[in-house]
Each structure stands twice: as structure tokens, then as C-alpha cells.
Amino acid sequence: MTQSELTAEHFLTIADHTLLAPGTTAAELDAFMVTAAEIGVSRVCVSSSLLPADARGAEIVTVVGFPSGAHHASVKVAETAEAVANGANEIDMVVNRGLVRAGEWAAVEDEIRAVREACPGRVLKVIIESAALSDEEIVESCRAAEAAGADFVKTSTGFDPAGGASVHAVRLMAATVGDRLGVKASGGIRTTAAVRELWAAGATRFGVSGTAAILAEWDAPAILNAAAAGASNESY
């Protein structure tokens, strides 16, 4: 899949501006929502325990089974149902990695499908923690997510010591799901260059906490080039 050039304006529409730090207070959440509105992002991603929340016009993304995924499917289903009741527009669920590592793909698919059924009409993303998986496990996890009716596959929670999003994983995930599902890159994405690389690899959504910093440097190369051109036109 070939992606066109990503602009800052388009990035704002596909960035899930994220606050998932444990111990977040109500005051910190409110300040985060104010900043999100000022930045102009389309979505915010927060912990389900912080819902309901005033997102000031943005859609709300929340996480279930977070961050380990080592929860019974029934717990993820209950968490999903409560999140939807509390205003979540999108659900990012963490897959059970033990089932993935054991190659129990029917069980992986069943768990995802159960969460899918708990959030009808909502966008469902499946976090596979790609940095901790083999290529085969990444591919099979993506296939299970698609078979279970997910809308996106997502690289990472951002909390696993194995690491976050990588170009290799995003490219592999995008090749597996084609244009049938979206691919959300998340975890350790802090620069415009990283966003552009992952976009070129096939990412169609981003989970980022440093959104403002990424946007601030977006046009830096153009600004530097313009300054250099101006300097070259000066008379000495």
C-alpha cells in the first residue's frame, strides 16, 4: 500500500492524543483535555477509569485489559461495556499474549470477538504488543483480529519493556491486513520523522502523547530551508 505525503493537518485527524499514566488526577485529566482542544486533535485516549469525561468536542478512545492483556475475556467484556456506557467512542483492547505465544488462535479470535460484540457501532482496535512477538505471531494475531471483526490492529501499549512501534512491525501488519483494517502505530513515537516513517510503512492512525512537540517540529525543515535560501540571497 502506497501512502501519500502526510500533512500536519491530516495528522491531527489520525492522532489519538494520549494520557494513560497511572495515577492521573481529575485536575490533570481536565488540563489534558484543555490542551487537546487547543491543539485541535480529533481524538483523545484515556484510561477507562477516568470516564465519563468532558473531551471538549473530541472523540474518546479508551483502553481495556490494559496494559498486560492478562485478563479473563469476561473482564475485558465488562470493562468494554462500562466504557461504552461512559461515553467511549473507540476501544483499544490488549490481546492475551499468553494465548498468542501458545498459538491458540481460536481462543485469541474468540476473545476479540467477545469484546467486539460488547461495543457494537464503536471502533475496535486490537493491541498485539508487536515488539514482544515473532513475525509469525504478528501475522497470526492480525489475522485473528480481522476474523473477529476488529477495525484496527495496533502495535503497542507503550508500557512493555520489549519496546513500542517499529517500521518493520507496521509494514508487516499493513501487508497482512491490507486496506481492510487500519494500523495504529503507538509506543515511543516522539518525532515528526518517526511519524512520517511509520506512515510510509502503512500506519493509518497514531497513538502519541507528545502531540504538540511533534506538530511544533513539523515544518522545521521548511523553515530552515527558507532561512538558508534567504541567507544565500543576501549581498556581502
The CA distance from 120 to 36, in Å, is: 27
Distance between CA atoms of residues 106 and 227, nearest Å: 58
- Domain ranges, ordered by start, for the chain: 8-232
**Alpha-carbon gap, residue 145 to 217, rounded angstroms:** 35
Which one from 16, 76, 125, 154 is the annotated catalytic residue? 154
Q: Which of 16, 76, 125, 184 is catalytic?
A: 184
CA distance linking residue 189 with residue 125, whole number of Å? 18
CATH of 8-232, one of 3.40.190.10, 3.30.1700.10, 3.40.50.1110, 3.20.20.70: 3.20.20.70
**Residue 233 pLDDT:** 35
Q: Of 16, 76, 92, 160, which is the active-site residue? A: 92
Tens place of pLDDT per residue across the chain (236 aa): 457 899 999 999 999 999 999 999 999 999 999 999 999 999 999 999 999 999 999 999 999 999 999 999 999 999 999 999 999 999 999 999 999 999 999 999 999 999 999 999 999 999 999 999 999 999 999 999 999 999 999 999 999 999 999 999 999 999 999 999 999 999 999 999 999 999 999 999 999 999 999 999 997 654 334 333 443 333 22
Question: Given this model, what pLDDT does residue 235 score?
Answer: 29
Catalytic annotation on 184? yes
CB atoms within 10 A of CB 6: 18
Neighbours of 200 (CB within 10 A): 15
Q: Would residue 125 show up in a list of annotated catalytic residues for this protein?
A: no
> Using CB atoms within 10 A of its CB, is residue 37 exposed (0-12), middle (13-18) or buried (19+)?
middle
